[in-house]
Amino acid sequence: MSSQAPAAGAPVRRNTAALVWHQIRYEQLSFWRNPQSAFFIFAFPLVFFAILAGVFGNATLAKIGGRSVTGLQYYTSTITAVSVMGACYSQLAVTLSLRRQEGILKRLRGTPLPAWVMFVGLVAHCIMLSLIDAALILGMGLLYGIPMPSHWAAIIVTLVVGAAAFCALGVAVASLIQNAEAAPAVVQFIFFPLVFISGTYFHITSRFLNDLASVFPVRPFNQALLNPFAFDRGFAGHQLLVLAIWGIVGGFVAIRRFRWDPRPE
């Protein structure tokens, strides 16, 4: 038993890096203990990819910017993007709404854990899931026969920027959702139309839709991944900028509007 009382005013805190690591570890543990959510984050995009890749294969799906893109190349990019969005945006929005509704966030707010450490734990977790998702889909794409990409730095940076931006948007949406029952519906209501007009499941040729979708974060993310996966090109600067701006907007809303208490004043 610990007999020494806490020294008033001069507590010996563990160092910040250790605290962040502690939080990341337990965030991981909570996630892997919930097999349902693990299934949807990994198996769902893989099944989708297997079906689309099986249907379209190595046939040319579209001419984009004068270059032929096969179905495999196209869907390796877009399904990677959609799985990152699922792991970051959808997961965070639903998880945070649920934790708030159940009073878990409020309870956590009563501990000395700094808020930013909690968020770092969540975001690190989401980025890690995103990278695993991307690796699984790329691995499957390689099995189906897409050429090995060569611009790895562009792939990693795009994934991390995309994951971070969609995490920020997930927290922002969680801040605006009132009750957890509505969370999955609100999340999908925002997500699905965007995913469709952004060409995630089929190539969009309408110029109007493409211009419209380019303003939102999903299509830029798709394009930034098509660069290394389909065109053997590196960074898509413009698209990454759009993603980063959305991330900053999401982060701003998240910081301003985030609520811990299920029944705020």
Burial of 190 (0-12, 13-18, 19+ CB in 10 A): middle
- The CB-side HSE value for 232 (13 A sphere, CA atoms) comes to 6
Which range binds other proteins by CB under 8 A, 105-113, 186-194, 230-238, 251-259? 105-113
Give yes or no for residue 111 binding other proteins (CB under 8 A).
yes
When binding is defined by CB under 8 A, the residue of 1, 66, 148, 256 that contacts other proteins is 1
Nearer Cβ to other proteins (30/60): 30
Nearer Cβ to other proteins (65/110): 110
Give yes or no for residue 16 binding other proteins (CB under 8 A).
no
Give yes or no for residue 112 binding other proteins (CB under 8 A).
yes
Burial of 54 (0-12, 13-18, 19+ CB in 10 A): exposed
Q: How far is CA 103 from CA 30, 32, 100, 262, in A?
A: 16, 21, 5, 6
> Does an H or E element contain 104, and which?
helix 104-109
The least distance separating other proteins from the CB of residue 9, rounded to whole angstroms, comes to 7
Return the amino acid letter for 209.
Answer: L
Give yes or no for residue 103 binding other proteins (CB under 8 A).
yes
When binding is defined by CB under 8 A, the residue of 207, 208, 256, 263 that contacts other proteins is 263
Q: Give the single-character DSSP code of 87.
A: I
The least distance separating other proteins from the CB of residue 168, rounded to whole angstroms, comes to 22
Which range binds other proteins by CB under 8 A, 96-104, 167-175, 185-193, 218-226? 96-104
Return the amino acid letter for 232.
Answer: D
Q: Measure the CA–CA gap between 174 and 153, rounded to whole angstroms.
A: 31
- The site for other proteins, by CB under 8 A, has a size of 36
Q: Which residues bind other proteins (CB under 8 A)?
A: 1-2, 4-9, 11-14, 19, 22-23, 26, 29-30, 33-34, 99, 102-104, 106-107, 109-114, 261, 263-265
